[in-house]
Amino acid sequence: MSEKRQCCVVMRLNLDCNACCRKARRIIINMKEVDTHMISKKERQVIICGRFRPSDVVVKLQKKMKRRVEILEIEDLSGGHGGGEEGQHEQEQPYEQPYDYYQQPDQFTTPLLCYYLSL
């Protein structure tokens, strides 16, 4: 069983009308482990921050709303102070291939530019 950590979860939830937004807000406010929340009806997103397990909150919201809930993003806000080994690993940067624009021949663009400028 994993412990509850300070995190922020972005979820997608189908919010059709204002009543759906009110119902979701009421469910989220009654959760004791939630600190802050934001509901965006236009983007169909719900952002919840607090000290909880994201899967527990999603399941609870899914059961009470009777709608599908999708997790889009989970951000860990504990900052690695939890004492576990997870926070000690450095994040690896994605590999980017070096691309030098100055060494590429400009023979393809120059004739086209000359052609359009002569018209």
The tens-digit pLDDT sequence of the chain (119 residues) is 457 788 899 999 988 889 999 999 999 999 888 889 999 988 999 999 999 898 888 899 999 999 999 999 998 887 755 444 444 445 555 555 555 555 555 555 455 455 555 55
Structure tokens belonging to residue 109: 């663009």
Please state whether 60 falls in left (phi above 0), alpha (psi between -120 and 50) or beta: alpha
| Residue 36 located in a structural domain | yes
CATH of the domain at 35: 3.30.70.100
Torsion sign over Cα 74, 77, 83, 85: positive
Considering only CA atoms, which of 34, 31, 37, 39 is closest in space to residue 15?
39
d(CA 47, CA 57): 11
Our count of domains for the chain comes to 1
Domain contains 75: yes
CA distance 12 to 45: 5
Specify burial of residue 13 (Cβ count, 10 A radius: 0-12, 13-18, 19+).
Answer: buried
Which residues are bridge partners to 8 per DSSP? 49, 75
Residue whose structure tokens are 């972005």: 10
Residues 64 and 12: their CA atoms lie apart, in Å, by 15
Q: pTM here?
A: 0.61
Q: Quote the domain boundaries for residue 11.
A: 5-79
Domain assignment present for residue 114? The answer is no
**Residue 20 is assigned to a structural domain of this protein:** yes
